[in-house]
Structure 1
């Protein structure tokens, strides 16, 4: 596969045209309503831009492949308008009546939609990619979605906007798929494209084993070095005037929602997210999401 980013993005767009028609057929079978999915639009987005694109109010499905548990696939019920409007469109398409608000029944239907969608997605992925995917752990939520740590650690991600059109006079709901470029390119690799001569493969394995042993030995020498770990509750931009006006009793409003996971950083690099807890008389953090060990080691040295 080409290493040119523009050519890789074009190839990933072509991959969409193979993937989504089968998903549309499967969703039609699940709902009894004809579903059409035009070829989605694909944008290459930096990890820095990703967090600002995700609406904290959008329902989401976060999952992985069982064989690659450290690589997230994030799906958001998020469109151009308010997330609530997008969800109401989906509910109208699924049950035939537009609800006035998102209540307990609608919440249950969102979960059922994501379950059915995930089954259709993985079935189509098995037919059209270079993997035989089994779903890994999943997380379905209604709001407070944060970008997974591994996606934020990627240099770039693909932001894929998908239009789900239900019925002959279509009711349209929008879905976003966020995937790292490295994961996407691996899905698109053709069988044999990455194959090598057996002798070369054995040599590579032997070399990797030697490097791994040396790496582990070197890491052992560093395990007692202290590092500063910081927990970031949130951020905000302020003009100099407002900073100078701060005094006892001033309240600084952060750009994060109550209950949103805090970020755990080492050397200023994000390695985990967690929930604030109280341990005896001290604050602590219960880790709920963490980067792989290799990624943590890499970031601590960055």
Structure 2
């Protein structure tokens, strides 16, 4: 049975290949543009992992330019995710076939060619398969780095939530449910105060506790900027003295240089694939 999805009209059924779509969703290392293109191709692929599109149609579907589509395809091919197979019809170039060669389990293309797209749409040759496997090793390394980076992002997000909840707890019943909802929505204004150099323990929380003990209260708290002037005055009267310690240098073990280098390599690789690196060099030379 072929998986499909029903449109909002409830009448027309639109084909979606769920297994390949879920596979594409699981790839986390790709930038947003190439990832969107991969998801689109995966939705429309058949059991062999094939679908046909013109670049004009892809650009229309993703709301971008044909040049962007070319860059996205270059990224997907570089990581061994997609093959592009050009076709001719009546001696004129027609829509290309995109083959999700990295998607498994998919059916292997018949030796005689694809039943719909013709005899030239076959499995890649041995040399091409070796090149694809080498490219997929790059994808594996990029995926490994992306998973580590995602874990660090989740950890940082957890710390931010702890800070936010500590500040809300300091306000106690002084802030009602509506105030708390507004302050949670304006969480960025709290971290703007912390980025200005105010200490959470020495400045922000003591001010919030004093406010909670007072009777004066605005009708509604819209952001953490309401406390900014009070925190500034309190910090001026209660500066945080940092004892000057002997100069120390971080040892190489204290800095995770491997992750930082991997991130730089991945960014440089994407710029080289899409041609952005050479464009920057040309602008620098012309200036």
TM range (shorter): under 0.3
Write 1 or 2 for the structure with the bigger share of strand: 1
TM-score by length of 2: 0.19
Q: Which has the higher contact order (CA 8 A, sep 6+)?
A: 1
Bigger Rg over Cα: 2
Instruction: Pick the structure with more helix per residue.
Output: 2
